Amino acid sequence: MMFGFLSRDKALIDNDTRAWLFDTFDWAIRNFDGQAMWQETQLVLPTNEFYPGRVASVAQMADSIFRHSVIYAGMKSWPLQLTERHQYQPQAIPEFTIEGGLRGANVVIAQNENRPLTIVYSAQQINQPQDMIASYVQQLAFGLIQQQKVLPPGGKECIAQAIEVLACVMGFGVIFANTAYQFKGGCGSCYNPQANRQAALPENDSLYCLALFSYLKSIPVKQVTRHLKPHLRVNYKCMVKELTQTLSGSNSYQFLTLQ
């Protein structure tokens, strides 16, 4: 595979992967409303503060999680429709005329077609809300890429991985790092692929994206680590330390000058 470095499992990040993640962060900020990232995007956490409310059914929970995720993604002005997976009828993605940026408070969208962008969910994710959130955001990020029609570094072969980098730029890095790896059990009998999101970036690559986002947004380490799975915390701290040493006072990377 041409981009096999994206699937390596290492304690930290090798040079090729780091270079691709930096380039893709720059691509995401430049092409998907970097102003919204700097001025409006917050670090979304898997807490009741971000996802409040009581619900009486699977459909209500799916809808509540969806509505909050759309707001945090900066896409509340987009024409979107939520559909349960088994009811979804595949169709071409609609194209919109977009003004005032792609994400954030100033977005104005004129539909070119009389239909919304459909986002699907699996009812089996109801007990794994972080996977549900990540699945929604993967689809929202892909919708952004489809509308913008700009390929990431590496081209079409890297779209799935680039979607997850973009999701981190949109503020969902903690949730993507927490759901990047799913333990399948000794025999795999307890693993349910319909409940888990399908991750493209390895766990450490997702964690590095989160560390880079947090560094750029000056988010304290403890604000992040308390919400990460325990086994991710040490590597996250090491990544933040490495980024601080590498990027502090540097203008070597374009995204550092885009604020």
Total residues found in the chain within this entry: 259
- Could you give the CA distance from residue 204 to residue 210 in angstroms, rounded to a whole number? 10
Tell me the pLDDT tens digit for each residue of 187-237. 454 455 556 788 999 999 999 999 999 999 999 999 999 999 999 999 999
Q: Of 188, 169, 171, which Cα lies nearest the Cα of 69? A: 171
Structure-model confidence comparison of residues 250 and 156, the more confident one? 156
Tell me the pLDDT tens digit for each residue of 9-64. 445 889 999 999 999 999 999 999 888 999 999 999 999 999 998 888 999 999 99
- Could you give the CA distance from residue 63 to residue 166 in angstroms, rounded to a whole number? 23
Q: How confident is the model at residue 3 (pLDDT cuts 50, 70, 90)?
A: very low
pLDDT on residue 94: 87
Decide if 136 contacts 100 (C-beta within 8 A).
no
- Pairing state between β 80-84 and 117-121: parallel
Decide if 206 contacts 185 (C-beta within 8 A).
no
pLDDT on residue 258: 63
**What six digits make up the tokens of 134?**
């990540």
Q: How confident is the model at residue 184 (pLDDT cuts 50, 70, 90)?
A: low
- Pairing state between β 96-99 and 108-111: antiparallel
Q: What is the pTM of this model?
A: 0.89
- Could you give the CA distance from residue 25 to residue 174 in angstroms, rounded to a whole number? 16
Average of pLDDT values for 55-83?
94
Residue 218 pairs in a beta bridge with none
126 contacts: CB under 8 Å, gap ≥ 6: 58, 61, 62, 132
- Could you give the CA distance from residue 16 to residue 223 in angstroms, rounded to a whole number? 29
**Where are the extended beta strands (E) located within 64-173?**
80-84, 96-99, 108-111, 117-121
